[in-house]
């Protein structure tokens, strides 16, 4: 177990290189930079962990497939999904009608506390500072994307972006620069107001601060959507940056969300994708503080699983003091892992969370762990765990798995005209009906709680129709 985790830690650096390009078909959670601007104030501005999920608005009342599939794509995190998750984190309301012809939300009726008058205003949507190509339920988002929804009047055709230093000393001149984007291109933004100063023809303005503190700077102009915020730490000369007034630790959440309904307190990797390579995603927030600076992520095996050792779990560093909001991690079949994530702000305040165990199931192809007899036929299915399943149509096909833990889940799919499967653990049997219609990677059955220790599960098809099995997940 420890050797496998060492190999995993060494490979994380390579997996990080492919983070942004990870295929959307995995439908794994991602972290995006979400900003929601109202007419009178900023409603939300910060990182959000989002995944592919259905959304419901107060006026529509129906759970809509806001996951990219309505435009013919594979399930993926979308811009509206990110807005929906931001509303839950930030405690604000968004509302819209559903346009069946468009296959998306339109028109938008409310954002935050502000009703949207469609005769004069609309909810503008930008992705990475340009107009999005698709509607919010169809437009997929990737790790690190900048997503902006802005309650705009028809006269506001531009959006501002502000850049500048993030640290300064009292009495020091600070130069910031504003740009304006017309939905396609950016150029200097003259006449924008930044904390009492006005930008010149080159878009720049000079500020000075007599008092130490943490300042949030935004550029505003009547004919444009206000800018993003720059968090500027102002300290006395000689003081370490951001340490004078910020004494509050940031908060942090992982992208795993709620634990699996079938296995409370645990996460099944099959919920997030089709592979042992999973995306670990997180988001830190620092309220009125100096802003999250970096993260450290560690992994430790849970001493249970298919052939797991009982050695004391050892934390291994996957990411150290990096600004990244996600990484890919490849686990071993039949093992479970916890992840310890630490967020630090620029004033060196820190907060740490430890995730519930994430279970990596044993795939039907893992012959060294899951022993299958003749009678099972392996079939390639792109949306299955490991992209294959095994099916038995007749009586007598068997399987066997040795594992350590307190529970076991069978992953697969119920099919029309499905047959029966007998599951025996430590001599106690249960007959399952595989008839019905469920998606790939569904939880077919979860065992009762077992004594903590070694167990053997035996499977046997009983006929009456086909039985389809995708993976077996031991659980601590």
Residue 123: CATH number of its domain: 2.170.130.30
Q: Hey, what's the torsion of the CAs at 358, 400, 431, 419, to 10 degrees? A: 100
Q: What is the pLDDT of residue 306?
A: 60
Any domain includes 19: no
Mean pLDDT of the region 103-107: 94
Q: What is the pLDDT of residue 29?
A: 78
Predicted confidence (pLDDT) at residue 16 exceeds the cutoff of 60 = no
Same domain, 115 and 35: yes
Residue 394: CATH number of its domain: 2.60.120.260
Any domain includes 249: no
Same domain, 463 and 378: yes
Predicted confidence (pLDDT) at residue 19 exceeds the cutoff of 70 = no
Q: Hey, what's the torsion of the CAs at 339, 343, 349, 352, to 10 degrees? A: -20
- 113 by Cβ neighbours in 10 Å (0-12 / 13-18 / 19+) ranks as exposed
Average pLDDT over the chain reads 89
Any domain includes 164: yes
| Confidence bin at 304 (pLDDT 50/70/90) | low
The last residue of one of the domains, among 314, 334, 359, is 359
Q: What is the pLDDT of residue 27?
A: 53
Same domain, 307 and 370: no
Reduced to 3 DSSP states, what percent helix, strand and coil does the chain have, rounded to the nearest 5? 10, 45, 45
Mean pLDDT of the region 5-12: 39
Same domain, 43 and 139: yes
Any domain includes 423: yes
Tokens of 321: 């003091």
- Gap between the Cα atoms of 87 and 136, Å rounded: 15
| pLDDT tens per residue, range 33-83 | 999 999 999 999 988 888 888 899 999 999 898 998 877 778 899 999 999
C-alpha angle 249-251-252 in degrees, rounded to nearest 5: 135
Predicted confidence (pLDDT) at residue 183 exceeds the cutoff of 50 = yes
| pLDDT tens per residue, range 410-436 | 999 999 999 999 999 999 999 999 999
Residue 199: CATH number of its domain: 2.60.40.10
Q: What is the pLDDT of residue 24?
A: 36
| pLDDT tens per residue, range 262-279 | 899 999 999 888 899 888
Same domain, 143 and 96: yes
Same domain, 110 and 131: yes
Same domain, 166 and 146: no
The last residue of one of the domains, among 154, 187, 202, is 154
| Confidence bin at 236 (pLDDT 50/70/90) | very high
Any domain includes 385: yes
Same domain, 340 and 379: no
Same domain, 146 and 104: yes
Any domain includes 226: yes
Domain span holding position 231: 160-235
Number of domains, the chain: 4
Same domain, 147 and 169: no
Predicted confidence (pLDDT) at residue 110 exceeds the cutoff of 50 = yes
Percent of the chain at pLDDT exceeding 90 = 75
């Amino acid at each position: 177990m420890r050797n496998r985790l060492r190999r995993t830690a060494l490979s994380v650096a390579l997996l990080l290189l492919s983070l942004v390009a990870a295929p959307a078909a995995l439908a794994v959670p991602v972290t995006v930079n979400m900003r929601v601007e109202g007419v009178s104030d900023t409603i939300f501005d910060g990182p959000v962990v989002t995944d592919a999920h259905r959304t419901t608005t107060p006026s529509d009342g129906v759970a809509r497939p806001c996951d990219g599939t309505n435009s013919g794509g594979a399930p993926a995190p979308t811009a509206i999904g990110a807005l929906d998750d931001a509303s839950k984190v930030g405690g604000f309301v968004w509302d819209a009608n559903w346009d069946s012809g468009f296959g998306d939300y339109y028109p938008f009726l409310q954002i935050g506390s502000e009703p949207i008058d469609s005769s004069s205003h609309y909810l503008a949507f930008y992705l990475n500072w340009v107009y999005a190509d698709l509607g919010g339920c169809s437009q997929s988002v990737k790790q690190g994307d900048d997503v902006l929804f802005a309650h705009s009047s028809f006269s506001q055709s531009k959006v501002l972006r502000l850049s500048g230093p993030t640290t300064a000393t009292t009495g020091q001149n600070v130069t910031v620069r504003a740009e304006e984007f017309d939905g396609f291109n950016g150029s200097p933004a003259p006449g924008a107001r930044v904390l009492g100063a006005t930008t010149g023809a080159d878009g720049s303005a000079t500020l000075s601060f007599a008092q130490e503190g943490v300042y949030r700077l935004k550029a505003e102009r009547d004919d444009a959507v206000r800018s993003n915020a720059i968090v500027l730490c102002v300290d006395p000369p000689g003081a370490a940056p951001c340490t004078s007034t910020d004494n509050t630790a940031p908060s942090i959440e992982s992208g795993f969300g709620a634990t699996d309904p079938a296995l409370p307190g645990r996460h099944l990797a099959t919920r997030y994708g089709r592979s042992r390579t999973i995306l670990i995603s997180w988001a830190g927030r620092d309220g009125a503080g100096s802003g999250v600076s970096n993260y450290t992520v560690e992994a430790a095996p849970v001493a249970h699983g298919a052939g797991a050792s009982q050695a004391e779990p050892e934390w291994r560093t996957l990411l150290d003091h990096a600004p990244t909001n996600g990484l890919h991690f490849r686990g071993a079949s039949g093992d479970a892992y916890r992840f310890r994530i630490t967020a630090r702000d620029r004033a060196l305040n820190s907060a740490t969370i430890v995730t519930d165990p994430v279970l990596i199931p044993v795939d039907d192809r893992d012959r060294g762990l899951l022993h299958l007899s003749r009678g099972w036929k392996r079939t390639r299915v792109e949306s299955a765990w490991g992209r294959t399943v095994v099916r038995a149509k007749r009586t007598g096909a068997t399987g066997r798995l040795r594992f350590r833990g307190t529970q076991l889940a069978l992953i697969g799919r119920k099919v029309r005209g499905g047959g029966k499967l007998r599951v025996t653990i430590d001599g106690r049997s249960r007959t399952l009906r595989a008839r019905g219609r469920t998606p790939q990677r569904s939880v077919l059955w979860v065992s009762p709680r077992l004594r903590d220790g070694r167990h053997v599960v035996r499977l046997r098809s009983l006929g009456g129709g086909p039985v389809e099995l995708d993976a077996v997940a031991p659980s601590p």
